[in-house]
Amino acid sequence: MLFKAAERQWKEEFAGKETDIRKVDCNIYKGILYQLEIRQVFLDTSLSLKKLSALLETNQTYLSNVVNKYFGCNLKELVNTYRVEYAKELLCSRRCALTELPCSCGFASKSAFYSAFSRIVGVSPLSYQTQERRRHHLQAVN
């Protein structure tokens, strides 16, 4: 089901564009989505281009090219985006203490976590958590 949805999204996203789209690109794209969204490999603090290319049974250069071409960023940025989205879920659900968040989301250090979170979301994790609590409180009151 996920792969059919990914293929549909692939066709909608890239069909009308002037890009050299190959079936093997689509398979790598679907593999990346599977590894990130289903297997949640982004939680592995040691995830690397080498490790992901081994999981997808492709070479590092080709994987890097597919990520750059179709996701519009490099692998580190893509993985950090998944990690930050996961952190936002944990912050909203209160399933994880703020001090445990970096490791729980796959970041190797607190500084890498805070830097990526602030760059991607635009505020610190604590500010985000406070804003979300206020928003949920206001929704509950109304």
pLDDT by residue (tens digit) across 104-119? 999 999 999 999 999 9
Tally DSSP H helices, then E strands, for the chain. 8, 0
Using pLDDT thresholds of 50, 70 and 90, give the confidence band for residue 14. low
Mean pLDDT score of the chain: 88
Check residue 1 and give its pLDDT: 43
Average pLDDT over residues 12-31: 74
| pTM of the model as a whole | 0.84
Residue 56 tokens read as: 């997808």
Q: What percent of the chain has pLDDT over 70?
A: 85
- Which domains, from first to last, does the chain contain? 2-72 (no CATH), 80-141 (1.10.10)
Residue-wise pLDDT tens digits, 69-94: 989 999 999 999 999 999 999 998 88
Check residue 138 and give its pLDDT: 76
Query: Which of these, 95, 87, 74, 89, lies nearest to 118 by C-alpha position?
Result: 87
Q: Taking a C-beta distance cutoff of 8 angstroms, is the pair 63, 52 a contact?
A: yes
Residues with Cβ within 8 Å of 82's Cβ and at least 6 positions away in sequence, in order, are 36, 37, 42
